Structure 1
Amino acid sequence: MQRVMVVGISSGVGKSTFAKKLANALELPVYHLDTFYWKPHWVEASPEEFSFLQREVVAQESWIIEGNYNSTFGIRTVRADTIIYLELPLRVCLFRVFKRWLKNMGKTRSDMANGCKEKIDYAFIKFIVTTYRPRKRKMDDRLQRFIESGANKKVIRLKGKKAINSYIRTLNKAN
């Protein structure tokens, strides 16, 4: 595992936290797509800039890239050797989004661009709720295509908090 994508079913599934722990266990650099996509004060990067920044990272020999961003999924899958997919129930994801908002209110998280203070709004919650099930189906297809794209392509599906925590514990013991 040298080039790893960490993706998940939804916001609040724990992609950023998991990627940081994975980076520590594997001693690989971690990149959070939110820091490429968002500029200070929640200004979106242009599609060209967002793609360019990912191509720069993907060209490196080893990395962990965390985040979904469907529009640029293909940029990462070309060089990735592993995708780790996290899935938790919708209610858990929503609870975690609200918990994260309360915990970080008025602050910028380390996995976000500078000046992007934690926020939550109706549109974000609606996005999580309305895309959860369709994303689940779409992700199954994407993961299958990734496996079929090369002999050395691996998918690790971690469904549930126990599976996610157990995987990190196992990696830490191995190293």
Structure 2
Amino acid sequence: MRRILVVGSSGAGKSTLAGELARRLDLPLIHLDRHYWRPGWVAPTGAEFRAEVAALAARPAWVMDGNYASTLDLRLPRADLLVLCDPHRLRCLARVARRRWAHRTEPRPDLPEGCPDRVDLDLLRYVWRYPRRSRPRVLAAVAAYAPNLPVRRLRGRRDVARFLDGASKRH
């Protein structure tokens, strides 16, 4: 495994898992939020971001976390494995709140400078709706762009621990 894509709801543990995978497997870590957002939470144009993601995905090795459905067509065909972090939405909501509290005075390492962590109604709606709206889109994109791509769905801490243990042993 040289290119691992990690997706899931906000608060699902994507960034934490991606960081640990990158460390254990000695692979470069790419947090897509750091490449998407500009200071002040300013979004790039779609073309700018697609070009940047295409360049990132073309690299020979990475662990990449982030959803950004509009770029799955660029990332999925390059990935060796898709990891879907998929805990219950209530757990995700609790983690979003805990993360916001933990980073109230210091920036999150997976966000760019000038983008302090925030929780708003749109984010909470996204987390609540993820299982019905976004997860099916991810799986449809896999079927469309990388039908033979292995998918590991991690629903809880035990799944994550087993997955990390197995990844370490294979490396």
Regarding TM over 0.5, the answer is yes
The one-letter amino acid of 2:110's match is D
TM-score, normalised with respect to structure 2 = 0.91
Please list every run of 5 or more consecutive structure 1 residues that lacks an aligned counterpart in the other structure.
none
Rate the CA distance shift 1:139–1:95 in 2: closer, same or farther, 3 A. Answer: same
Alignment-derived partner of residue 155 in structure 2? 159
Distance 1:160 1:106 in 2: 28
Displacement of 1:117 in angstroms is 0.8
CA contact (8 A) 2:81 2:150 kept: yes
For residues 77 and 5 of structure 2, the distance between their equivalents in structure 1, rounded to whole angstroms, comes to 11
1:147 to partner: Cα distance: 5.0
What is the identity percentage for the equivalent residue pairs of Structure 1 and Structure 2? 32
Say whether 1:5 aligns with 2:11.
Answer: no
Is the Cα–Cα contact under 8 Å of residues 4 and 65 in structure 1 kept in the other structure? yes
Hey, what does 1:136 align to over in structure 2?
135
Superposed displacement of residue 174, structure 1: 4.6
Which aligned segments of 4 or more residues in structure 1 are displaced greater than 4 angstroms?
none
1:102 to partner: Cα distance: 0.4
- Alpha-carbon RMSD: 1.7
Amino acid aligned to 1:107:
E
SS at match of 1:73: helix
Give the TM-score normalised by structure 1: 0.89
Question: What is the letter of the counterpart of residue 16 of structure 2?
Answer: T
Deviation at 1:169, TM superposition (A): 2.5
One-letter identity of the residue aligned with 2:6: V
Q: CA deviation at 1:39?
A: 0.7
Corresponding pairs, count: 171
Q: 1:78 to 1:144 in 2, by over 3 A?
A: closer
